[in-house]
Chains A and B, each alone.
Chain A
Amino acid sequence: MLNRVITVASTLTSRIPGKAGVWRGVWSRYGIRIFGTVWLLVFTLPVRGDKLQFNRDIRPVLSDACFRCHGFDAATRKGGVRLDLRDDALKPGKSGATPIVPGKPDQSEVVRRLYAPDPDELMPPRESHKRLTAEQKATIRNWIQEGAVYEGHWAFQPIARPEIPWAGQARDAPLGHQPIDAFVSATLRAKGLPLAGRTDRTTLIRRVSLDLTGMPPAPEAVAAFEVDERDDAYERVVDRLLRSPRYGERMAQDWLDAARFADSNGYQVDRDREAWAWRDWVVGAFNRNLSFDQFTVEQLAGDLLPGATFEQRIATGFHRNHMSNEEGGIIPEEFLAEYCADRVETTATVWLGLTFNCARCHDHKYDPFTQRDFYGLYAFFHNITEKGVGDYGSHYRRSTPPWMLLPAPELETALGRLNQDLSDESAVLTNLASQVLLNAADWERQVTNAHVTWQKPWLLHPHVSSNGVTEVGLESVLNLRSLDTNLVVFSATLRIPLSSVSALRFELSRNHSEVAGSTNRIGVRELRVWRVDGPLTETNALAVRPRSIETGAPTDDVAKALDGKTNTSWQAVFTTNGAVVACVDFLRPLPGSGQVLLKIELEASASETNWPWRLAVEATSTPLDWLATPEVRGILLKPVVDRKDEDQKKLGAFRLAQSPVYEAQRLRVEGVRGRAKEKENALPVTLVMQEMDQPRETFVLMRGAYDRKGERVMPSTPGMLPAFSSELPRNRLGLARWLTSSSNPLTARVMVNRLWQSFFGVGLVRTAEDFGVQGEAPSHPELLDWLARSWMERGWDIKWLVKEMVTSETYQRASKFSKESATIDPENRWLARGPRFRLSGEAIRDQALSVSGLMVGQFGGPAVRPYHPSGIYEQVVAGSSADTYVQDKGANLYRRSLYTYWKRSVPNPSLLLFDRPFRETCAVRRARTSTPLQALNLLNDPTYVEASRALAQRMIREGGLTEERRVRHGFRLVTCRQPNPAELRILIQGLRRAAASFAADYAAAEALVKVGDSVRATNLDLVELAAYTSVASTLLNLDETLTKE
């Protein structure tokens, strides 16, 4: 990101025309033009056998330059010329000219047009911005000369059963020389590249441990392996690692990228979702070595298996991992289409290695797939009992059905108790109702005659916190002023000249003389009322009920100021020149002797600073219960005989609402109901697939638009691939079985390739996500087929396949670059040396936690929230909500990175820096960048500062008494090997320099070793600990540490 620097701007003006364009111009200025040329020759020309091969030499060129207009998509085909099929290419086009005449390039229109001097005739046309090199043109010409032999695209051909190319007899192969090595050696012999030898045991055990468990080996394991002279010592290590439960966590990491797994919904407000049970299922499936075909079936269609188990239904969460939208105002159907398309694209990428998204709007431009094929697959996924839009109104766990409850015994017991309480309290309420409704005639008389008059009290002793100003104004109005927007606390005493008080009326208003007509608000967090002429301990606050002034009916708004909760408030919003009014009445009228003395206290904040407002209070002795709504009054005016049932119900409901006793009980019931609801919402869930009883109809969507329906389609698989057996059900289960049938040419190859990529850094097919025509051909096609075929024959046994790879000689080679391999094959596609790549972000952090001894190895469960920079949520989250990252405490700070909370809109920044995909869509290949921001992260993130300190503690305590022994111990913990003398010298010098520096600055030493929540060893010298912390940080930042070597 920081690395494209100065030269580009100057190249804007100094380009030299030519095929290498800008870059050649740049190189020549630096005298390295020759390298560019060599480089081009070496890497753009395929290794040539005797004869040109269509798939290797011709198809990539035609596909890139010609198929857009002369390929599979009939809608955009030009001139009636089709070049992807031989039969068509040999037929004349609309112009009458024949594109390809085998053996006769000079009569072939293709050749004529490739070399046409007239720019209007030249192919590819100018507007395509594609150009062929002279080399490419010549290759096509020669191929036509040789007879223009076509081959089907390699990936769509049945998986072959190649002979293993042993150099001699198979039984003569040296120990550890496996079929993989035979295939690789055969190619290497042909290229004349020298082979690297086996790497040393220390490097090897670190390499294989990081690959199979995502963690470095324990020092004891390294030591034991280094001296284990048994023939099968390495195999034993591999078997042990494959049995480790950490293996499942490591393997899950790549699968979670592919499955776009995350802990939030991804759109707009991006609320959380709960799907960790699915993630744990994946870890478990790898650990118990569930065969890949069954792994596929359970995730795509576990719910459709006969007698589907609970676990198999959890597995179906795979296709609920897509993003989900809850935004108000979206059109559900539009997003249903989005989810289904995502499922098609993900399925196609993960199992078929095909870029099906291209076929969503039109037939595929490069691969033989139609838009109809896309919607045929779409139909399999279109019958889920889901809604296109989530529901902000419901709890996040319940917002996007279908979901399934997970067992939670403690919560369930508590919920059971609450439900029992609820039914008990409800019974009491029913009883109360029948009592309250007695004596209807008396009540009607009372209500009909009721009239409320409000009395202004005397306001005494106004008081305000230091950030406010107050004074008593005319008409018993309290003039107030908030100096800032923080909470201001006001209090005053009311002397009310009444013999009893049954209700108070509060009126908040703006001071119009000072405020312009903009919108402001006052948030009243708490409103408290005490008696002062009775004992002060006797508080009536709880007895206060909020009422609407117009009708006397209960309201919720003011209740928020009376609930004793500091996180709720009564929001008085002023948009026009009105006042905001609320009434509270007491459960029982407060008696007095001619007057009642009350104290009120208000905690409120204004939306503006230095903002004037007013509070007026009045009181009445008339119970507000007696106030009837206009509707109730209307009913009361009717003679009883004229009233409808409905009228009587309304009267009953009103009367109940007016009864303090009934109301109190009702609130109690609501309280219990609320707590029960809360518990119920706390029950964990996991998102699952569930089929609709009546399937939705599926149509081709024109240009992919949800509201432009074309022809109707039934569930079907792409016509180009082996047929969908009539014995299979036409649902997701059938689809899963079709994907894993032995005749499917793609699934096994695609998965083998991804596993290869996991261990060797680059797939045999580099474009792991694209096995189509535009993807790259395999470097070792026979090896790929042999692995895929053998794997299927062994029942898709994943651990067998993994072991086959990591026990190969090819895997075990040293990863040093030789001169030849660095120049001829810098990317190591021919595998002459072992893999050497930067670790994933997850592995880098897990390794630091592990070698420092901080790691907490607990498996599974809800996501955890480790250290995280503050403030990055606040800038971007919705509205004015205080959504922030709440960091965990204790053990959850040190769990494996697999469990780190992943919010799609603001993903964990350090994992993102190390190229973890956003997890918004399927990703099967990670970038591997090297940036300065990564360096800053590893140097300064508390995660690594704390790990350095913890590692320093281990160095001091476990290493021995001398500097050298301690440094050696740390070096070995981190890299597994011993430092060489030069390394040791640098580290010890660094240690002494740091120690001297910290000795002169004790406060700095103390500050450094304080970072992090974990307990610091108290019996260590702080200066010494700080110095070792600095050295430990050096160790954790070594290139070697960050690299699988």
Chain B
Amino acid sequence: MTHDSVHLTRRLFLSRGGTGIGAAALMSLLNSSGLRADGRVGSKTVGESLTHRGTARRVIYLTQAGAPSQLDLFDYKPGLKARFKENLPDSVRGGQRLTGMTSGQKTLPIAPTPFAFRQHGQSGIWLSELMPHTGRAVDEMCLVRSVFTEAINHDPAMTLLQTGSQVAGRPSVGAWLSYGLGSENSNLPGFVVMISRPSGPTNAQPLHERMWGSGFLPSQHQGVRFSPGRDPVLYLSNPAGMDDGRRRGMLDDLAALNRLKLEIYQDPEIQTRITQYELAYRMQASVPELTDLSKEPKSIFELYGPDSTKPGTFAANCILARRLAERGVRFIQLYHRGWDQHASLPEHIRHQARDTDQPSSALLMDLKQRGLLDDTLIVWGGEFGRTVFSQGELSETNFGRDHHPRCYSIWMAGGGIRAGTTYGETDDFSYNIARDPVHLHDLNATILHCLGIHHERLTFRHLGRDYRLTDIHGNVVSGLLS
């Protein structure tokens, strides 16, 4: 059954929009779906979870799939240069488990980054030479160098990052927010996903629909994938030969017939269906308008870089992300794949950085110049970090890095984030966290907090238990907040 709060707001929308129906029907609508699975008033938990005024109204999550190396991008460890090829001290590793990919290796030789780091901006934050554009925006962001997770392989780790659990079946962050806050635009989904493939010759781990799935939440909260090409949203275009005029006529007939049915049956689901067909029709106009970049000025393409004119690239998706944010979409998730550098890291990471550095920074600047950065939360990061030691052969210019869940770096910006700061520290090897650890659950709690939601209160009753994004964990990290 559809979820009550959804109906409720839809009804309210309709009554505002002038297409509403009478009070009696409204009442029956509310009643028809006003009960949660456990018989309580479902919206209660959503309502009660809104404990304070949020600092952000929407999220743009720039997910870097495959796990970017913190050592070569964000976490500057100058002392490692002198330790080239030394074995990682046992005292540092502390018996931590390795993946099956390096557990057979006889030595764990330290691989210092071959990339130069320098300080940027007023804040003087150290970044690698691979991130020059990010460097220009560094005063807008908080660089978190002490994120950690338990998962050590991609599939469970990405599932944990996105859903708060390594085990499949929980709702994703975006689904929780869509459930909790809905969309601010009636013609677009509340949760949009866009995916880009790496430009370089690199190992791209697969993604699964579950990573933006709705789990046990009603499935309308599932992320809607926007793709480049004829149908940005699945089945959006009318079939050949069915132009807008014919479609409109057909939909008018359909609505008239459904209204006849509603008169006889009085089933509020019929009214819902009539409404959904109208929404579908409006999406046929609003989505292409949204994805059409032809009216963007040249300066915008210059800002986002040369890839931004190619549909489906991370850069083009970043422009779309801004357009979605402008239109009030609640949760905008970009995935850029290809960060899994078990070998040839120095070469492959260049491509990855080139794909993402300029567009990410451009997005920040673009939002700022439009006054949208203040209430848009941006998160940039992957599912875990990478090891300080080399996987496979190590030379000064070539090596690989294995998975490393114990610490890694992400950055956040906008909507309530303390700008121009860093948070957390790792040890000299970027192997363990030295100060202010941030678990993924803490990160999620903080994201919800920025949206005005108490993470312990946004729950959904499933299998007899009140589930939440942060499970039984998570603390808001106030050090990240302005």
A936 touches B235 (CB 8 A): yes
CB-CB under 8 A from B30, the residues of chain A are: 35-36, 39
CA distance A780 to B186 in the complex (A): 40
Given contacts A936-B280, A939-B235, contact A22 B221 (CB under 8 A): no
B241 & A774 in contact (Cβ 8 Å cutoff) = no
Q: Is A591 an interface residue (CB 8 A)?
A: no
List B contacts of A95 (CB < 8 A). none
- The verdict on B397 contacting chain A, using a C-beta distance below 8 Å, is yes
Q: CB distance A872 to B225 under 8 Å? A: yes
CB-CB under 8 A from B50, the residues of chain A are 11-12, 15, 22
Q: Say whether B74 faces chain A, with CB atoms less than 8 Å apart.
A: no
Q: Does A1011 contact B (CB under 8 A)?
A: yes
Question: Contact mask B1-31 → A, CB, 8 Å, 1/0?
Answer: 1100111111011011000000100111011
Does A431 make an interface contact (CB < 8 A)? no
Interface residues of A in 787-817 (CB under 8 A from B): 815-817
Establish whether residues B273 and A767, one from each chain, have CB atoms under 8 Å apart when the complex forms.
no
- Contact of A920 (CB < 8 Å), options: B205, B210, B235, B273: B210
**B34:A1 contact, CB within 8 angstroms:** no
Query: With A270-B208, A1034-B257 in contact, do A6 and B398 touch (Cβ < 8 Å)?
Result: no
Chain A residues, CB < 8 A from B167: 338, 921
Chain B residue with Cβ nearest A980: B260
A845-868 residues at the B interface, CB under 8 angstroms: none
In the bound complex, CA of A735 to CA of B239 (Å): 54
Given contacts A6-B184, A827-B32, A986-B257, contact A1008 B239 (CB under 8 A): yes
**A130 nearest in chain B by CB position:** B466
Given the complex, which residues of B lie within 8 Å of A417, measured CB to CB? none
- B155 surroundings in chain A (CB, below 8 A): 267-268, 325, 327
- The complex places the Cα of A822 from the Cα of B28 at a distance, in Å, of 6
B123 in contact (CB, < 8 A): no
Q: Which of A272-280, A670-678, A903-911 contacts B (4 or more CB under 8 A)?
A: A903-911
Residues of B within 8 A of A983 (CB): 257, 260
Q: Does any Cβ of B come within 8 Å of A772's Cβ?
A: yes
The contact of B233 among A129, A877, A933, A941, by CB within 8 Å, is A933
Contact with B along A1001-1013 (1 / 0, CB 8 A): 1011111111100
Q: Which residues of B contact A993 (CB under 8 A)?
A: 249
Chain B residues in 8 Å Cβ range of A928: 1-2
Where chain A touches its partner, the secondary structure class is loop
Complex CA gap A823/B182 in Å reads: 27
Q: Does B188 contact A (CB under 8 A)?
A: yes
The 8 A CB mask of B255-286 against A (1 = contact, 0 = none) is 01110111011111110111111011001100
The reply on A752 being an interface residue by CB < 8 A is no
Decide: A6 near B169, CB < 8 A? Known: A39-B34, A875-B227, A878-B204.
no
Query: B238 near A: Cβ within 8 Å?
Result: yes
Q: Which residues of B contact A23 (CB under 8 A)?
A: 5, 8, 41, 43-44, 47
| Residue contact A5 to B269, C-beta cutoff 8 Å | no
State which of B1, B6, B16, B37 has its C-beta within 8 Å of the C-beta of A776.
B37
Q: Which residues of A are found within 8 Å of B227, using beta-carbon distances?
A: 871-872, 875
> With an 8 A cutoff between CB atoms, is B164 at the interface?
no
A4, B246: Cβ atoms closer than 8 Å = no
Query: Which among A80-88, A328-336, A597-605 touches the partner chain?
Result: A328-336
Give the distance in Å from the alpha carbon of A358 to the alpha carbon of B197 in the complex.
38
Chain A positions 864-911 with a Cβ under 8 Å from a chain B Cβ: 869, 871-872, 875-880, 904-907, 909-910
Q: Is B116 an interface residue (CB 8 A)?
A: no
- Check if A243 is an interface residue, CB within 8 A of chain B: no
Nearest CB of A to B418, in Å:
22
Chain A residues with Cβ under 8 A from B46's Cβ? 22
Determine how close the nearest CB of chain A comes to the CB of B301; give it in whole angstroms: 21
One of A15, A773, A933 near B464 (C-beta < 8 A): A773
Are A869 and B234 in contact, CB atoms less than 8 angstroms apart?
yes
A774 B257 Cβ-Cβ under 8 A: no
Contact assessment for A32 and B27 in the assembled complex, using a CB-CB cutoff below 8 Å = yes
Complex contacts, B2 vs chain A, CB 8 Å: 927-930
Q: Which of B224-246 contact A (CB under 8 A)?
A: 224-225, 227, 229, 231, 233-243, 245-246
What distance in Å separates the Cβ of B114 from its nearest Cβ neighbour in chain A?
11
User: In this assembly, does B189 line the interface, its C-beta being within 8 Å of a C-beta of chain A?
Assistant: yes
Q: On chain A, which size bracket covers the interface?
A: 35 or more
| A573 nearest CB neighbor, chain B only | B201
On chain B, the residues within 8 Å of A936 by CB distance are: 233-236, 280, 283-284
Indicate if the CB atoms of B250 and A129 lie closer than 8 Å. no
In the complex, what distance in Å separates the CA atom of A11 from the CA atom of B280?
A: 27
A717 at the interface (CB under 8 A from B): no
* B219 part of interface (Cβ distance < 8 Å): yes
B31 touches A1033 (CB 8 A): no
Residues of chain B lying within 8 A (CB to CB) of residue A942: 239
Could you tell me the distance between the alpha carbons of A1004 and B243 in the complex, rounded to whole angstroms? 8
Question: Which of B100, B181, B205 is in CB contact (< 8 Å) with A331?
Answer: B100
Is the Cβ of B241 less than 8 Å from the Cβ of A930?
A: no
Give chain B residues whose Cβ lies under 8 Å from the Cβ of A920: 168-169, 210
Interface hits, A1027-1045 → B, CB 8 Å:
1030, 1033-1034, 1037-1040, 1042-1043, 1045
Q: Knowing A4-B181, A40-B41, A815-B265 touch, does A774 contact B6 (C-beta < 8 A)? A: no
Q: Could you tell me if B37 and A823 are in contact, using CB atoms closer than 8 angstroms? A: no
Q: How far in angstroms is the closest Cβ of chain A from B31?
A: 4
> Least Cβ distance of B391 to chain A in Å?
10
B209 and A929 form a contact (CB under 8 A)? no
- The answer for the CA separation of A1037 and B261 in the assembled complex, in Å, is 13
Are A12 and B53 in touch, CB under 8 angstroms? yes
B479 interfacial by beta-carbon distance below 8 Å: no
Within A916-959, which residues are at the interface with B (CB < 8 Å)?
918, 920-921, 927-937, 939-942, 945
Q: Does B35 contact A (CB under 8 A)?
A: yes
Which residues in window 266-311 of A have CB below 8 A to B? Answer: 266-270
Chain B binder among A213-221, A371-379, A514-522: A514-522
| Contact partners of A20 in chain B: CB under 8 A | 41, 44, 47
B465 within 8 Å of A (CB atoms): yes
A489 CB within 8 Å of chain B: no
Smallest Cβ-Cβ distance to B150: which chain A residue: A705
Interfacial residues of chain A within 348-401, with CB under 8 A of chain B in the complex? 349, 355, 357-358, 365-367
Chain A residue nearest to B2 in the complex (CB): A929
Q: Which residues of A contact B9 (CB under 8 A)?
A: 3-8
Given contacts A2-B220, A3-B10, A872-B227, are A776 and B38 in contact (CB under 8 A)?
yes
**Min C-beta distance of B286 to chain A, whole Å:** 10
CB contact under 8 A between A4 and B276, given known A268-B205, A576-B398 = no
Closest Cβ–Cβ distance, residue B150 to chain A (whole Å): 10
Q: How far is the CB of B276 from chain A (nearest CB, A)?
A: 5
A774 to B37, CA, bound (A): 11
In the bound complex, do residue B246 and residue A1039 qualify as a contact, i.e. CB atoms below 8 Å apart?
Answer: no
A987 to B258, CA, bound (A): 12
Question: How far is B57's CA from A901's CA once the two chains are assembled, in angstroms?
Answer: 39
Q: Is A21 an interface residue (CB 8 A)?
A: yes
Could you tell me if A1005 and B241 are in contact, using CB atoms closer than 8 angstroms?
yes
The answer for the CA separation of A876 and B7 in the assembled complex, in Å, is: 33
- B41 contacts A44, C-beta separation under 8 Å: yes
Known contacts being A266-B168, A877-B206, A905-B206, is A994 close to B250, with CB within 8 Å? yes
A-B contact pairs, 8 of them (CB 8 A): A9-B181, A329-B101, A330-B100, A836-B269, A876-B209, A929-B219, A940-B239, A982-B260
- What are the 7 tightest A-B residue pairs by CB atom distance, in nearest-first order? A4-B182, A1008-B241, A774-B464, A1-B220, A22-B47, A1007-B241, A1007-B240
Besides A6-B9, A905-B207, 4 more A-B contacts (Cβ < 8 Å) are A23-B5, A43-B39, A129-B48, A819-B266
Binding site for A on B (CB under 8 A): 1-2, 5-10, 12-13, 15-16, 23, 26-28, 30-35, 37-41, 43-44, 46-48, 50, 53-54, 57, 97, 99-101, 152-155, 167-169, 178, 181-184, 186-191, 195, 197, 201, 203-210, 213, 218-222, 224-225, 227, 229, 231, 233-243, 245-247, 249-250, 253-254, 256-258, 260-262, 264-270, 272-277, 279-280, 283-284, 344, 347-348, 350, 397-398, 403, 452, 454, 456-457, 461, 463-465
